[in-house]
A and B are shown apart, each in its own frame.
Chain A
Amino acid sequence: MSLTSYLLISLVLFVIGLVVMISRKNIVAILLGIELILNAAALNFVAYSRFVTNNLDGHVFSLFIIVVAAAEAAVGLAIVIRFFQIKETIHIDEATQLRN
């Protein structure tokens, strides 16, 4: 219930998101990892706003993180759909067009 516990939860969430992003091969699964990382950061901001500072700037920043995550998820999934229309699969190893 102290600041440390919230920071630890946010750290574990960040690490799990990182593991999901690195180890999975499905593009939508990678986007799931991105959502976990963004949420960990937002939790961090709100925890600091509660325990350290006296104002609600952390809450406002968390709201903006949520907004940005929504916009980025929408565009990311549109790109995934376009990728599927071209390559007929969403395995990340098929994204090799920029490789020499």
Chain B
Amino acid sequence: MFVQLLFLLSASLTIGCAIAVAVTKNIMHSCIFLLGSLIGIAGLYATLGADFVAVTQIMVYVGGIVILMLFAVMLTGGKDFVSRAQNLLGLAPSMGNKWTYGVGLSVGLVFLLTNVKLILSISEYFPEKKFGNEFPSTVTQIGHLLVKDHVLAFELSSVLLLGALVGAAIIARPRKQ
């Protein structure tokens, strides 16, 4: 019963904050709503029994990426962001205008409608594996998988992170003009 309650809370938090990311005028508020959405997704991982992935999600996204976005907004003149390119018809500058929202919403709707039918019929392809209330811990198994089956991806991701670290530092360093 509590798993269902957690599922409902997390799902509503996720979708509500995601919609708020799309419609908020202020870019700082959008970042905070993204934070809420990511915490909701961590809750959804928890209902799936993926404890390690949920905690990694909170650690990496909340503790790292959202703060990174907030810093980037501050360093690029964030909330005073004014567009000089086109007439915005009353909407806030960071939002785009009616054309972009029209195109975006229609693309979204097309994508949604084509895939909803597919997803609703997915239960015929996979037999419903009813799971009980057992949530075995995943930490040891993920550890085994990472160093046995997926060791190549593990090592490559460390190289990727090194490359991203060095690249980001070089691209954004202050230049002597």
Q: State the A residues within 8 Å of B (CB).
A: 1-9, 11-26, 28-29, 31-33, 35-36, 39, 42-43, 46-47, 49-52, 55-57, 59-60, 62-64, 66-75, 77-82, 84-85, 89-91, 93-94
Contacts and interface: CB of A to CB of B under 8 A. Distances in A.
A5 B175 CA distance: 50
B89 interface: no
Contacts of B126: 3, 51-52
Contact of B105 (A19, A57, A64): A19
A78 B108 contact: no
Interface residues of B, number: 89
A19 B153 CA distance: 31
Contact of A90 (B81, B122, B123): B81
A81 to B, nearest CB: 4
Nearest to B157: A67
Contacts of B82: 89
A57 B34 contact: no
A11 B41 CA distance: 13
A24 B45 contact: no
B69 A22 contact: no
A11 B161 contact: no
Contacts of A67: 60, 157, 160-161
Interface of B: 3-4, 7, 11, 14-15, 18-19, 21-22, 27, 30-31, 34, 37-38, 41, 44-45, 47-50, 52-53, 56-57, 60-61, 64-65, 68-69, 71-73, 75-78, 81-86, 93-96, 100-101, 103-105, 107-108, 111-112, 115-116, 119-120, 122-123, 126, 128-129, 131, 138, 141-142, 145-146, 149-150, 153, 157, 160-161, 163-165, 167-169, 171-172, 175
Interface of A is mostly: helix
B45 A46 contact: yes
A21 B163 CA distance: 26
Given A22-B103, A23-B104, A32-B69, A52 B129 contact: yes
Given A1-B4, A36-B37, A75-B164, A17 B72 contact: no
18 contacts: A3-B126, A8-B119, A13-B15, A16-B15, A18-B104, A25-B93, A29-B21, A35-B65, A42-B41, A43-B41, A50-B131, A60-B146, A62-B45, A67-B60, A67-B160, A72-B164, A82-B172, A91-B84
Contacts of B71: 77
